[in-house]
Amino acid sequence: MGRRRNRHVQNQNNSKSWGKKPEWIEDKNCEQYEVFYKEQNVVPEGEWDKFLESMRSPLPVVFRVTSGSSHAEQLHKFMRNSLSKLTNVEVDGQKLEAPFQLPWYPGGMAWQINANRSTIRKSDELKKLHNLLISETEGGSMSRQEAVSMIPPLLLEIQPHHKVLDMCAAPGSKTAQVLEALHKDGEKIPEGFIIANDLNNKRCYLMMHQVKRLQSASVAVVNHNAIALPPFYLDPPDVKHRTEMKFDRILCDVPCSGDGTLRKNLDIWKKWNVASAFNLHSTQFRILKRGLELVTVGGRLVYSTCSLNPVENEAVIAEMIKTAQGTVRLLDTAPTLPGLKTVPGLHKWKVMSKESEFYSSYDDVPENIRILPHHQNTGGFFVALLEKTADVPWQKKRKAPESSNHEVVEKKLKESEDDSKQSEIIDKTDEDDKNIEAINDDSKTDEKDESKKGVHKNKVVTHKFQGYKEDPFLFFEKDDEAWPQIKSFFGMPDDFDYTTLLCRSDAEKKRNIYLASGSLKRFVVNNEDRIKFINLGIKIFGRISSNSQQQGFGCDYRLYQEGMATIFPFIKNRRISFSRLDMITILSQENPYISKFSDVAHEKLKETSMGPVVLIYEPQPGEDGCPLVLCGWRGKTSCRTYVPKLERGHYLRIFGEELGDGKGPAPEDICVESSPQPQEETKQEAV
């Protein structure tokens, strides 16, 4: 192990201090930055002082309600009522502007509070709102995300049938937006899916937490260099000549110098230099080039950076338009987001040397859009929307490697490793992004074999990837032994495609069972020989203790709440109808006795044997609310729900209630086998 770094510094008085920011953080000046951007005319004439003043101020708090769920509108109604009460808040003697909806965000589902975090902490009213946002964000019902970061997914106008690729996805906020668009038809499993890729292995694992909140069976996280993403196929590895698959929509939010994020990344004031953009230009162009190879003809790609530098923006787009020779065109973004204040892209710009000398460039660049921070209190951002009108000229028809030709695959993987040795970058505009890190951090990570599990009998031999070795993704076979019991107990229909279920081990007793959409399953099976999958699908079933049959539970598996919305339409047995009051009771108490429920629910529970149950609420005519489905457990004398505390608080807010301490006697009639999962999740789900 390497030597631990000191976790504290000593000041001149030799006293220890933790967490103190360096003095230069407070110096929000950079002469070279100002000289460069004044010369570029990025900021309209007469607005420079306002631009610089905005750059030196903290960012506001922005959040959006997760759309696509049955209770999104109910939560939005709750938020409107709550935020309407914050019209006369004062902090340090100054009245704060009331929270408002972003005029350009669809459905008014995004809100902005023009106050930073330190201001929020000084107000009791805003502090309550802050705690609410944390709770709802953790449960997946809201997302805290910088306003400009929401723009690229909206421009793609994603539909439920689209196949989407996010090339540089971590930390995952834009991926979450794409999932919302895919699920816009409600709880129905969409035909489309999203592949969320990132070069950094560690950030892929962090991204898993972000996408898991959305509870979707239509997302897979993969770990590759965006420049050298391997081709994707519509045929399995054992087919000799395979057909390449293309994506309908691609997000290309590339690594950048990040000088549009000065409001939150204060160290850029000290580190900014003109060379950063030059170092990244080639990488950005190559990622965009690979993206245009992977998008289908007629498909769309959005290119974005959180930089204002034309070398990273217009210069990349201009070079690509020239290279594409008419096979790619820029689209007008104005009709998609009415109300968004933007400035057009530059038609000419100047290149600055290290000695601050300028050289003019007059390439003819079509219109792009740039968002300036002082126009609507945001960060700086650049976006270009492209449509592929024909196959790009440099793209040759590849002869797909045969499944046994490992040398071809190994060569591609070697190219990917070589391309991963990039400069230091600043990544994304999302709230919790660390923003400054080396793009090849994951190459320093020791490879560890955390799995001693067996390999699927039909699985092609995997190749060496960077980072940790993953457990296999094993889909159910037609003769899987676990399925008949699950099918019978929960009343699953005969036409349910249980081969879309998967597990992470070929052990006889499966711990957790996941579900992937049919289209995602086909993608995985057809590309498992060349893609490093980190995570996919959604958890549906978890194994109960080994002696479940002796205890009279009737099934070896129970349900997980995160997969309830997806699997519920297929479950016909073990359903219990609850009234509004029944739902409030089971959400606010840990283990209420069966006798506490309404007569109808009480009788149904008495008729139901011990084990997993599905608790259903449908609003009665004239009753305010939305449908709700929870996974629960019928014990000997009590009934409980397997819903984490944060989610219970969310559902109670929809019912107009608050979550109390929920204390009650813990039943001793359940024994759930623990599973290998994070400690926090174990606390929420273990009994």
Q: Is 49 annotated as a binding residue?
A: no
Question: Over the stretch 564-610, which tens digit does the pLDDT of each residue have?
Answer: 999 999 999 999 999 999 999 999 998 999 999 999 999 999 999 99
Mode of pairing for the β-strands spanning 247-253 and 295-305: parallel
What's the whole-number average pLDDT of the chain?
80
Of the pLDDT bands very low, low, confident and very high (cuts 50, 70, 90), residue 293 is: very high
Q: Which amino acid is at 145?
A: Q
Strands of 446-546 (E only): list them.
474-475, 501-503, 512-515, 533-536, 538-543
Q: Cβ(61)–Cβ(302) under 8 Å?
A: no
Residue 145 DSSP code: -
Both tokens of 76, joined, read 């939005």
Burial class (CB in 10 A: 0-12, 13-18, 19+), 361: middle
Number of CB atoms found within 10 A of residue 463's CB: 13
pLDDT of residue 85: 84
Question: Over the stretch 25-51, which tens digit does the pLDDT of each residue have?
Answer: 567 888 999 999 988 888 998 999 999
pLDDT of residue 657: 82
Q: Which amino acid is at 384?
A: A
Question: Over the stretch 51-79, which tens digit does the pLDDT of each residue have?
Answer: 999 999 999 999 999 987 778 888 888 88
Burial class (CB in 10 A: 0-12, 13-18, 19+), 92: exposed
Distance, in Å, from the CA atom of 153 to the CA atom of 302, rounded to the nearest integer, reads 8
300 has which bridge partners?
Answer: 249, 387
> What are the helix (H) ranges across 258-347?
268-271, 275-294, 314-324
> What are the helix (H) ranges across 325-468?
373-376, 406-419
Q: Is 198 annotated as a binding residue?
A: yes
- As a whole number, mean pLDDT of residues 547-566 equals 81
Q: Is 299 annotated as a binding residue?
A: no
Is the bond preceding residue 171 a cis peptide, omega within 30 degrees?
yes
Strands of 127-210 (E only): list them.
142-144, 163-166, 193-197
Burial class (CB in 10 A: 0-12, 13-18, 19+), 493: exposed
Both tokens of 128, joined, read 């309550």
Q: Is 70 annotated as a binding residue?
A: no
Q: Is 170 annotated as a binding residue?
A: yes
Residues serving a catalytic function are 306
- As a whole number, mean pLDDT of residues 437-466 equals 39
- pLDDT for 646 beyond 50: yes
pLDDT of residue 435: 37
Show Cβ contacts of residue 189 under 8 Å, excluding neighbours closer than 6 positions. Answer: 217, 218, 517, 518, 566
Both tokens of 514, joined, read 């996941």
Could you tell me which of 142, 146, 193 has the C-alpha nearest to residue 171? 146
Of the pLDDT bands very low, low, confident and very high (cuts 50, 70, 90), residue 685 is: very low
Length of the chain: 687
- pLDDT for 354 beyond 70: no
Q: Is 364 annotated as a binding residue?
A: no
Show Cβ contacts of residue 375 under 8 Å, excluding neighbours closer than 6 positions. Answer: 341, 342, 343
- pLDDT for 519 beyond 90: yes
What the chain holds in terms of domains, given with CATH numbers, is 24-146 (3.30.70), 148-441 (3.40.50.150), 454-568 (no CATH), 574-685 (no CATH)
The full DSSP string for 592-615 is -BGGGS-HHHHHHHHHSPSEEEEE
> What are the helix (H) ranges across 198-274?
201-212, 268-271
Both tokens of 462, joined, read 């995997």
Tell me how far apart the terminal alpha carbons of the chain are, to the nearest angstrom.
37
Could you tell me which of 526, 596, 660 has the C-alpha nearest to residue 231? 526
Of 109-123, 177-191, 243-257, 460-474, which has the strongest mean pLDDT? 243-257
Q: Is 252 annotated as a binding residue?
A: no
Number of CB atoms found within 10 A of residue 194's CB: 31
Mode of pairing for the β-strands spanning 163-166 and 247-253: parallel
